[in-house]
Amino acid sequence: MESKTLQKIRLLKAGEIECRAASVSEKGVSLLLYKDARVDQRILDETFGPFGWKRSHQCIDGNLYCTVEIFDKDRKEWVAKQDVGTCGYAEKEKTQASDSFKRACFNWGIGRELYSAPFIWVPASKTEIRKKENGYFCVQRFSVSEITYTDDREIANLRIVDGKGNVVFERITEKPENGKEAKADDTEKTQPKKKLTKAQLKKLADEMHRTGVGFDRVSERYSIEDVSDLTPELYAKVMNALKKTKDAA
């Protein structure tokens, strides 16, 4: 019998996917799809709870590894998966730490669907490319406006737009035989977002004052920009964590 703890990781939503230039020439730019560490943290919190997972880093033969552990409630033990990070040109240790964490989360299945992405090419006619001393660079930024998946958790339809909302890349594939596709952000579109009550906001403010925990820490931990982004479910997680925090004094 499969452990209830090892639930299926949800698919990435369009707004959680970044587009980065892989190569640029006078003819156009090729793009790659990425996720950042905050997305990994958010999905781990959603799936296993903020206290149901943990991360650690180890230096092995000069390389920084990250281990992401998830608590299996059925077996009453921690299950670990590990991967190594790559170096960046700046802030080497920080880059390795973030990259190793994201790679370890890939091992858990977070964002693994990005491996099924098609070759993404934006011709020069649809973007703005400029020449520099050693080549070319693209001045525009791109984002995923829509993405759907097949039952096999592979990318089916994909639409990418520029900063002005113009479609620069679109891939439409045939629907599976059963006519169903898994769309990552269907839930958000069909269900209105629930807001916190004044009483809940007051309790949150009191707990933050008691513990000395500023909203900046809550924002970074749970990847939200404003208190209005707190759903009742996320509010419960934040309050539970604050209640276990000692007084600021």
**Structure pTM?**
0.65
Pick the more confident residue, 202 or 174: 202
* Residue limits of CATH 3.30.160 in the chain: 36-110
Sign of the dihedral defined by the CA atoms of residues 40, 44, 45, 51, in that order: negative
Q: State in words which class domain 36-110 has.
A: alpha beta
pLDDT tens figures, 50-86: 999 999 999 998 889 999 999 998 889 999 999 998 7
Report DSSP letters for 107-155, one per residue.
HHTTTGGGGGPPPEEEEGGGS-EEEETTEEEE---EEEEEEEE-TTS-E
Average pLDDT of the residues of the chain: 83
Cα dihedral 104→109→114→115 (10° resolution): 80
pLDDT tens figures, 165-178: 999 999 887 554 55
Distance of alpha carbon 216 from alpha carbon 200, whole angstroms:
19
pLDDT tens figures, 232-243: 888 888 888 888
CA distances from residue 210 to 34, 66, 194, 213 in whole angstroms, order as listed: 38, 33, 26, 8
How long a stretch of residues is the chain? 249
pLDDT tens figures, 82-114: 999 876 544 455 688 899 999 999 999 999 999
Q: How far apart are the first and last CA of the chain?
A: 48
Pick the more confident residue, 137 or 249: 137
> In the chain, what percentage of residues exceed pLDDT 70?
82
Pick the more confident residue, 247 or 169: 169
Distance of alpha carbon 78 from alpha carbon 100, whole angstroms:
19
